[in-house]
């Protein structure tokens, strides 16, 4: 495979994706969407190498798989890699994914909350049912996670599975990810449809902060390598913490931000905004 130049990589990362009105409507009705051909194989491989290198370095002292609890067995989790690597920063700050996030949520722009590499090792266990926004001390539901598999991800690898329309479901919103959340939500969500098909190379999913989701075990011999970016409405504000995880997130991801203020810390830059785009077009 012929490698791409740096300019070609960056151009693709920042060129708009043709999101249709029907796709945006599907997301708003169902709380998630899986989009085809969002990133090319060349771009994914370019950043897979950079991301995997840092994940290996930063998780070298991880406890052996058999000694971990259910959450620990689900994946190796490395957060805010954009602070650890210029190559990863290019990926996280790419405007293509950020613009999709803004258009799906119907907001003027998005800032990054944080990124996460989620590597489900060979033999890695399930990721229990949960909703991400349980952890986030923010003022609205205008939040979305881009889930980017860095290789083809068949069902045997444990792709992300989404419970359709569950972003409007109230039961389970007080549960952190655990064996309890898996058991409780498996029963509570049994009447909802679950989308659990695999991902082709280039597919990217987006799910809302309150959409319940899980993943199966990785029964293959290679790791399921995934990069994620959490986006929030550029105008979202910090709220009073409602649980201990809110307190931890405030300290870790929102440094210097006071309750009631926009999450405009150095760790939460605006990645895409229609306002920025308008200024750029005017300058041209």
In sequence order, the 6+-apart residues with CB closer than 8 A to the CB of 2 are 42
Do the beta carbons of residue 151 and residue 138 sit within 8 Å? no
pLDDT at 74: 59
pLDDT band at 275 (very low <50, low <70, confident <90, very high): confident
The domain 6-132+139-231 having CATH identifier 3.40.50.300: the answer here is no
Nearest CA to 2 out of 49, 35, 53, 46 is that of 46
Beta-carbon contacts of residue 209 (< 8 Å; ≥ 6 apart): 131, 132, 133, 136, 141, 143, 144, 145, 167
Residue 163 · residue 211 · CB < 8 Å: yes
What is the Cα–Cα distance from 23 to 176, expressed in whole angstroms?
30
Q: What is the pLDDT of residues 63-108, one digit of tens each?
A: 666 666 765 655 688 999 999 999 999 999 999 999 999 999 999 9
pLDDT of residue 208: 98
CB 225 within 8 A of CB 119: yes
CA torsion sign for 121, 32, 82, 268 is negative
Tens of pLDDT, residue by residue over 210-222, are 999 999 999 999 9
> Cα(227)–Cα(111) distance, rounded to whole angstroms?
17
pTM for this entry: 0.92
Quick check: 223 pLDDT over 60?
A: yes
pLDDT, greater one: 56 or 155: 155
What sign does the dihedral 20-100-51-212 (CA atoms) show?
A: negative
Helices and strands in the chain, H and E counts? 9, 11
pLDDT in tens, 162-199: 999 999 999 999 999 999 999 999 999 999 999 999 99
The SS3 of residue 270 is strand
Which run of H or E residues covers position 34? strand 32-35
Q: What is the largest CA-CA distance in the chain?
A: 57
Residue 277: per-residue pLDDT? 64
pLDDT digits (tens, 9 = 90+) for 229-242: 999 999 999 999 99
Q: Encode pLDDT of 138-162 as tens digits.
A: 999 999 999 999 999 999 999 999 9
């Amino acid at each position: 495979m012929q490698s791409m130049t740096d300019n070609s990589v960056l151009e693709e990362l920042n060129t708009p994706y043709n999101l249709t009105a029907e796709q945006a409507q599907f997301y708003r009705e169902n709380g998630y969407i899986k989009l085809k051909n969002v990133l090319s194989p060349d771009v994914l491989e370019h950043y897979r190498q950079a991301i995997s290198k840092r994940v290996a370095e930063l998780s070298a002292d991880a406890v052996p798989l058999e000694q971990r609890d259910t959450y620990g067995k689900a994946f190796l989790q490395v957060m805010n890699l954009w602070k650890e690597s210029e190559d990863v920063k290019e990926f996280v700050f790419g405007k293509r994914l950020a613009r999709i996030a803004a258009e799906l949520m119907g907001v003027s722009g998005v800032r990054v909350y944080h990124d996460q590499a989620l590597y489900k090792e060979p033999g890695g266990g399930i990721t229990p049912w949960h909703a991400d926004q349980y952890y986030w001390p923010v003022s609205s539901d205008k939040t979305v996670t881009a889930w980017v598999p860095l290789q083809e991800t068949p069902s045997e690898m444990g792709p992300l599975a989404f419970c359709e329309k569950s972003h409007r479901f109230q039961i389970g919103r007080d549960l952190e990810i655990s064996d309890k959340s898996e058991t409780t939500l498996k029963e509570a969500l049994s009447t909802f449809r679950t989308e659990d098909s695999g991902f082709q190379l280039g597919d990217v999913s987006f799910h809302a902060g309150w959409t319940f989701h899980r993943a199966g075990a990785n029964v293959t011999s290679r790791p399921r390598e995934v990069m994620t970016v959490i986006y929030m409405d550029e105008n979202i504000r910090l709220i009073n913490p409602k649980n201990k995880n809110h307190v931890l997130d405030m300290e870790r991801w929102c440094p210097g931000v006071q309750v009631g203020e926009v999450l405009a810390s150095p760790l939460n830059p605006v990645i895409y905004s229609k306002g920025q785009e308008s200024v750029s077009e005017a300058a041209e």
